[in-house]
Homo-oligomer: A and B are copies of this chain.
Amino acid sequence: MASHMQSQESRAECSSIALLEITAQLIRDQGYAGTTMRRIAEQAGIKAASIYYHYASKDEIIDRVLDRGIVESMARVRQTMAELPAGAPFCERFTAAIGAYLATVNQLGTYFIATRQLLNQIPPELAERHRQRRVELDRFWADLLDEGYREGAIAESGTNGLARLFMLGALNWSTEWMDLSRKSSDELAEVAASLFLNGIETR
């Protein structure tokens, strides 16, 4: 996946999906404008013009990256939730969701750290579609918290929406420092869930 793949086999076989993965890395590390066709190509071991065989434009790649990232992330989180035992308590479901989210955001989901910054740069109608994906994601967490409230596990307050924003922010920002080789996403999820549920104050 690194470079010079055509030296061994004559077919370079740089798949379209590999290009997405490379692009996702670059977006995360260099931003939208810093993610150039030539840099993507270089990472893939091909030339910039060759990318146009796979994708029609830079914007199409970006679009695919954002879409795939957030869709796949949500899918994995939902799947993790579905695999939990039937009557699992809120605390457990909450922690599992955080773990799955941290994992996807950081390994595969290095993809879709689609910040306002990125949304400001991509074409408007493309941005609009992605903005809606983000609303879906937010709704997932809102629903989860709502279940917790109905179970009586967590306190509801008028500021619940704000608290959710802070919590999601904490998880999203983790891409800035997370190193999965030191702590697994599940270990980190324990810490985050404990922080969000109990706080740091002594009882």
Other-chain contact of A176, B160, B169, B171, B194 (Cβ < 8 Å): B169
Q: Is A188 on the interface with B (CB-CB < 8 A)? A: yes
Query: How far, in angstroms, from A33 to B145 measured CA to CA in the complex?
Result: 38
Residues of B contacting A155 in the complex (Cβ-Cβ under 8 angstroms): 200-202
- Provide the A94-120 mask, 1 if CB < 8 A to any CB of B, else 0: 000000000000000000000111001
Interface residues on A, range: 35 or more
Counted per complex, copies of this chain come to 2
- Provide the A5-47 mask, 1 if CB < 8 A to any CB of B, else 0: 0000000000000000000000011111110000000000000
Q: Is A85 on the interface with B (CB-CB < 8 A)? A: no
Q: List 17 A-B contacts (CB under 8 A).
A: A29-B117, A30-B121, A31-B33, A31-B34, A154-B200, A155-B202, A163-B194, A165-B177, A166-B174, A166-B192, A169-B169, A169-B171, A170-B173, A172-B176, A196-B199, A197-B199, A198-B201
